[in-house]
Chain A
Amino acid sequence: MNITSSKGDLFANNSKRQKWRMLNDKLAAWVVSLGGLSVIVAITLIFFYLLMVVFPLFESAEIKKLQTYSVPSAQAGDSIHYILDEQGKIGIRFTGTGKAISFYADTGKVIDEKQLVESPVTSFATAEVSSGIIAYGLEDGSAVVVKAGFTVNYTENEKIITPKYEYILGEEPIEIFTGGEAINHLTLQKNEESLILVSINPANTVRISSFEFEESMFDDEVSFEKTDYDVETLNYNPTKILIDNTQRMIFVFDEKDSVYFYDISDKDDVQLFERKSLVESGGKITDIKFAAGSFSILVGYDNGRIAQWFPVRDENNKYSLTFVREFAESNSPVVNIASEFFRKGFISINEKGELGIHHLTAHKTLLQQNIDSGKVTYLAISPRANHFIAESDDGTIQYWHITNEYPEISITSLWNKVWYEGYAEPEYIWQSSSASNEFEPKFSLVPLSFGTLKAAFYAMLVAMPLAILGAIYTAYFMSPKLRQTVKPTIEIMEALPTVILGFLAGLWFAPFLETHMPGVFSVVFLLPVFILLFAYVWYKLPHSLVGWVPEGWQPILLLPVIIFFVWVSIEVSPLLESALFGGNLPNWLNNEMGIGYDQRNAMVVGFAMGFAIIPTIFSIAEDAIFSVPKHLTTGSLALGATPWQTLIRVVILTASPGIFSAVMIGFGRAVGETMIVLMATGNTPVLDFSFFEGMRTFSANIAVEMPESEVGSTHYRVLFLAALILFMFTFMFNTIAEVVRQHLRSKYSSL
């Protein structure tokens, strides 16, 4: 009994323990699976995260109607202009009677009304949109310039925005035409030092008034000095006049839809650059506006087109207004155009009530949507470009919200030539930031892709012959004993931090190359010849003299030979340079051949990065060749082929997929390498294949610009796009290589 009971206990214990063990086993399976899967998920997360950050770049815009209300204090006269504040909360309506009516943009409730000018207004103009400066031309030949803006005050927990009007040239109207003729057309631009106002009277006389500001020593009051310049009496009927932001060019438009383009940089001697018809491709002009920066002119036509024109300088330094690009999404006449304040974007509306959101440099229409309004008379966009209002001729205002974060990116602007403002022709440019305010970032990925491929190309040029030939020799000819030390030695190169290679390339090799170029070139081109010569002499020497060197030890024998040759080349290099190239080869290249020379150039990168990828290619290729089944080679040799023939016809042929995959992996590594290119090139994004000049690669570009880019900005996302491209590119290359290798492995095992 005792025995049984104890046995029962044992069983009981045992089954408890058994259960515990089983539980443990299950638990472990769970934990390991969970952990393992989470690692795999974490790794794939990289791809999806990059994609997620990049995706918004390619989204189109969206608009949402928030409110419709009737025009605030409609009795105050017809509108001539609207502005909105930063947040799009408050609007100001300017009327032809000289009133400014501020109102809540979301309800239309009037905040206050102000009479800005007393005398009847005959003309109206705005300066650069972001400045908020407007000018009234009056019937008595005088003008008033007002800066309309908003002040923000914080109370307890509220932000109070109030309109603010500032008379820049004083509240008293400034007399422009002394004879009391009305100002029919006017335009103005202001910068830190001066304000230029150009007016035309009914007799078509053009007058330029320049106001130079002087900071007063004693108080904050700004005084100014006015100078008038008479230009000429126009022999055509002007309809509109514009002056550009640099205050050097004016554009006068006439009834026949032509533009007269004047140079006013010397105001005493105003020159007519040219007269140009803006309607050669058909249609009539319906609206003319400056794009942000007051340099590009946007012209809307009655056939639905909107064209961008800007002055382009030719070789003779002569400007000509040039047609740059156009948007033609619809054929309904364009009614109104409103430019964004800080980006090269604009919105437009046509007679059908279709609102278009466009971006100039990206040459992209982000949205085309009917907003169901009557005929729109005025369109205004808020400074942050996230709200707009549209006044219709039925006396209502529609208030809309815009979501349009990244209009400047399109496939075209990333990969095609883009005609930027101020450039003579479309170009590929990467220039993400600049000190100037009016700067427009230029995100062409072409120079970077080009630089990446250029760097990788030169690296492969150096690495491929050395690594593949080296692998062939090591795997096939080298004595096994020597191979045991040579292989790890070359493979240890792979582990060398690239920052060290980059630093040596930039600080040691680049200056060395600059001063010893003839020597380096003679090593590159003459060393093979010298080695062949040595080999031939060795072959001709009697066997008794050279027989002590066993087969497969040639590399060791060649060590002193190569070192000697390199040493001699470097030693004679300055002499060669003095004798043949006037003592300074980079200068000689520049002066005699017209080839630019950067100290940190593609050659330096080629050598340094080639050095970095030799071990990668070598190691994989060597494995592939070494594992070619021995019976294939012995068979070939037995049939009377020489070792070289066997190698070419049998071994390499069999191992070629392996060598191919080695090259692919090496290329993938060269494409993504960062530190070497960062340190060994000048990092200038140029499109030049010369190996005496530098480049900028994707990876170096990311390393340089990423820390400074603002989170969530277009620049930030474009850099993520660059990373995504690198990721996909290398991943693809490596996958192809890996598949080829696996295929090869199964082939060998079947042999």
Chain B
Amino acid sequence: MKNWFKSGSPWIWLSAATVSISLIMVVGLIGLIAVRGLSMYWPGQIHQMDLRTSDGKTDTVIGEVFDSEQVSKERLKDAGVIIETDKMLITRYLVKTGNRDVDAPDFRWLIADNVVGETFPKEIVVFERMEWGNLYGFIESVKEDGNLVAESTAVWPAFNERLARATKLQEDITSIEKHEIGSVNYEMERLRLKQRKLELKNKFDARAKQEIENEKTILDARYKSFQSKLASLYQQIKRDTIQVKISTGAVVDVQVGSIVRAFKPNAMGTFDKVIFYVKSIWLFVSEDPREANTEGGIFPAIFGTVMMVLIMSVIVTPFGIMAAVYLREYAKQGVVTRTIRIAVNNLAGVPSIVYGVFGLGFFVYFLGGNIDQLFFAESLPAPTFGTPGIIWASLTLAILTVPVVIVATEEGLSRVPISIRQGSLALGATKWETLWKTVLPMASPAMMTGLILAVARAAGEVAPLMLVGVVKLAPSLPLDGDFPFLHLDRKFMHLGFHIFDVGFQSPNVEAARPLVYSTAFLLVCVIIVLNLTAIAIRNRLREKYKGLDH
């Protein structure tokens, strides 16, 4: 044993173990997110459980089992649950029972020993609603304008037909509310600003007034027509109701128009479930969020992230490359350049929140405030650019990531063999021609790597964005059909911030948790793919230049 210790072998084993631990942590973490994030949309079995209550009666609970764990009796006692049992450890289930509006709470911990019966009735329907989360129950009947139209076995097809109609109507309503009326409102606001601008310039004369009045009348008429259309749609969508029997035995009326979708998980085969699963994932990435972001999709967040990263790339690429080319090709190599290089390198290590503070102070309040004074005086005191927005977020992140691009590009430039430059110069090309036609193309994969790494960093960064433009719910996307189409001053939603906001600021964390995992998984996937691409490009590049060195 002493020899064994003396040989140093135990320490080698221990250090080997640290590598294993690191590996387990990485893979485990990504696995955890993947499993939790992906399982959210798999339609699980709906349990109908009979529960023994403390006064000897039985209760029925319908819901999905989310989690199960073993807890000590004392912990339960501390939480106010007292159980007569000899067992030290008690199994309990976390059951999502839904029905938040009629039978709160929507998540319950059930003691396994109290469950006396468990069935999986095929007829249980899960209703996803616009408000109040899921509803679990059995459809009793379908009514149209209060008149019974279907009962017992006929309800499901009758209901589905009506749901399809309601969904169609709902789409129309959303389209009018969001796009048409939104557009009218936007025009109105522009008119108001136009008038204010003229007033400020003292040019608001009778003719201008007449013009604006005319436009206003047209807009008002349009608005009125949309309003009446909306009113009739709302009337129509209220037509159908269904009667649902829930776990307590009570029958509740549910408006068909308030249902997003309905399905019977216990009656689904595996194939149905797969189809349903794929559809759910599609809805998740393509829909708007509902209920304070805890339900529905994350489309605006994806859109906002992509938009911001795109604007950032447009800014960071030329400037980063220029700085690198300057440092490597034009600047006199010496102590100063070395210092600059070290400084640029170190800026990558400066905390991102510092960039956020800088962005808020310099871009938003200083630059934005001045832009407002100069060009948007008509809308003051309401700020246009003097408030956090997507352009400032992109600029802040551009400054944050420019060191990444500079370092990567410089590395690429330094790998281009000197012989190639000399060859080009010897043939009579100017310095710029040499750079443009030979060196830069050869270094382009390195620039690509830098850009990809910058994008990956920007997509995952949250702290600075919280100061310079991200919001939990943006009323409109930064890109839409209203002139000038790209609204650089708007606030936007972001995947990373969405995780923070839904996970930590939402009132119903339990209900929001699966959505947070899914969002996190999406973000992790995007970033890992970006990084792997960067690594692959870098490796290929290295191989390529290995050959050139001789």
Contacts and interface: CB of A to CB of B under 8 A. Distances in A.
B16 A555 contact: yes
Contacts of A426: none
B325 interface: yes
Contacts of A465: 18
Interface in A469-503: 469-470, 472-474, 477-478, 486, 488-490, 492-493, 495-503
Nearest to A679: B504
B328 to A, nearest CB: 10
A642 B430 CA distance: 58
Given A495-B528, A503-B520, A699-B351, A711 B365 contact: yes
B432 A24 contact: yes
Interface residues of B, number: 107
Interface string A22-66: 101100110111011111101111100110010000000000000
Given A492-B531, A499-B499, A532-B13, A575 B89 contact: yes
A723 B353 contact: yes
A651 B340 CA distance: 31
Interface stretch (B20-28, B191-199, B231-239): B20-28
A296 interface: no
Given A495-B456, A583-B72, A562 B326 contact: no
Interface string B507-541: 00100010010001001100110111001000000
Interface string A233-263: 0000000000000000000000000000000
B322 interface: yes
A552 B89 CA distance: 43
A442 interface: no
B26 A490 contact: yes
The secondary-structure label for the interface of chain B is helix
A154 interface: no
B352 A578 contact: no
B388 to A, nearest CB: 8
Interface string B60-93: 0000000001111111011000000000110000
A205 interface: no
Contacts, number: 335
Contacts of B520: 500, 503-504
Interface stretch (B157-165, B216-224, B251-259, B457-465): B457-465
A25 B424 CA distance: 14
A35 B89 contact: no
Nearest to A495: B531
Interface stretch (B2-10, B115-123, B260-268): B2-10
Contacts of A558: 13, 16-17, 20
Interface in B299-333: 318-320, 322-327, 329-331
A578 B89 contact: yes
A733 B531 CA distance: 27
B32 interface: yes
A493 to B, nearest CB: 5
A720 B361 contact: yes
B184 interface: no
A706 B20 contact: no
Interface stretch (B101-109, B169-177, B342-350, B443-451): B342-350
B357 A702 contact: yes
Nearest to B345: A738
A648 B25 CA distance: 27
Given A497-B461, A699-B351, A702-B353, A503 B14 contact: no
B430 A477 contact: no
A496 B257 CA distance: 41
Given A50-B357, A532-B10, A555-B16, A506 B22 contact: no
B499 A49 contact: no
A577 interface: yes
Among A40, A648, A665, find the residue whose CB has the most chain B CB atoms closer than 10 A. Answer: A40
B402 interface: yes
Contacts of B1: 536
B509 A507 contact: yes
Contacts of B402: 39, 43
A699 B353 contact: yes
A50 B358 contact: yes
A644 B352 contact: no
Given A643-B8, A720-B361, A738-B342, A500 B524 contact: yes
Interface string A606-618: 0000010010001
Contacts of A503: 499-500, 503-504, 516, 520
A470 B430 contact: no
Q: A679, A706, A739: which has the most chain B beta carbons within 10 Å?
A: A706
Contacts of B343: 43-44, 735
A497 B78 contact: no
Contacts of A28: 431-432, 435-436
B390 to A, nearest CB: 16
B354 interface: yes
Nearest to A514: B75
B433 interface: yes
Contacts of B433: 21, 24-25
Interface string A532-571: 1011100100000000000000111011001100000000
A665 B323 contact: no
A53 B9 CA distance: 57
Interface of B: 1, 4, 7-27, 29, 32-33, 69-75, 77-78, 88-89, 318-320, 322-327, 329-331, 340, 342-347, 349-358, 360-362, 365, 399, 402-403, 406, 430-433, 435-436, 456-457, 459-463, 466-467, 496-497, 499-500, 503-504, 509, 513, 516, 520, 523-524, 527-528, 530-532, 535
24 contacts: A22-B430, A32-B322, A43-B399, A43-B402, A46-B350, A477-B16, A496-B460, A503-B503, A503-B504, A503-B516, A515-B69, A536-B4, A556-B20, A558-B16, A559-B23, A584-B74, A587-B74, A644-B7, A674-B463, A702-B353, A711-B365, A727-B350, A734-B349, A738-B346
- A-B pairs, top 9 by smallest CB distance, nearest first, are A644-B8, A672-B351, A36-B326, A583-B74, A497-B460, A35-B322, A554-B16, A674-B463, A583-B72
